[in-house]
Amino acid sequence: LHPNLPLTNKKMMSDASDMLAAALEQMDGIIAGSKALEYSNGIFDCQSPTSPFMGSLRALHLVEDLRGLLEMMETDEKEGLRCQIPDSTAETLIEWLQSQV
């Protein structure tokens, strides 16, 4: 964290970092789970916790939470947070957001 920031800003950055890390771990799990998902007869159960529909909804909520956190952060806070995200994670998210399925 930046040494010149007031304590409340450091706390907010730390909280945001923790929330982002948790969200990224959850998204990573969702992506890994959807890749490993096996289904029978080509039919998904929409209510199943392993359903791709539930995973998509969860991912959407995580992305919206991330957007909300980023909108509340100052530019230097965002830069400090970005430095903590592994390049492979950032590349995966960028590729996904820019893909035209």
Lowest average pLDDT, out of 10-14, 24-28, 35-39, goes to: 35-39
**Structural domain includes residue 52:** yes
In the structure encoding, which two tokens stand for residue 40, read together?
């029978």
Radius of gyration of the chain (CA): 17
In the structure encoding, which two tokens stand for residue 100, read together?
């035209």
In the structure encoding, which two tokens stand for residue 98, read together?
């820019």
Mean pLDDT (the chain) is 73
**Structural domain includes residue 1:** no
Q: Residue 16 — very low, low, confident or very high, per pLDDT cuts 50/70/90?
A: confident
State the SS3 of 30-87. Answer: HHHHHHHCCCCCCCCCCCCCCCHHHHHHHHHHHHHHHHHHHHHCCHHHHHHHHCCCCH
**Structural domain includes residue 28:** yes
Report if pTM > 0.85: no
Q: Which domain holds residue 72?
A: 7-98
**DSSP-based three-state secondary structure for 1:** coil
Q: How confident is the model at residue 38, as a pLDDT?
A: 44
Say how far apart CA 58 and CA 61 lie, in whole Å: 5
Q: How confident is the model at residue 75, as a pLDDT?
A: 92
Say how far apart CA 5 and CA 1 lie, in whole Å: 8
**Structural domain includes residue 2:** no
Q: How confident is the model at residue 101, as a pLDDT?
A: 63
Q: How many domains does the chain have?
A: 1
Q: Residue 13 — very low, low, confident or very high, per pLDDT cuts 50/70/90?
A: low
List, for residues 49-90, the tens digit of each pLDDT value.
555 556 788 888 888 999 999 999 999 999 999 999 999 999
User: Is the distance from CB of 70 to CB of 6 less than 8 angstroms?
Assistant: no
**Structural domain includes residue 13:** yes
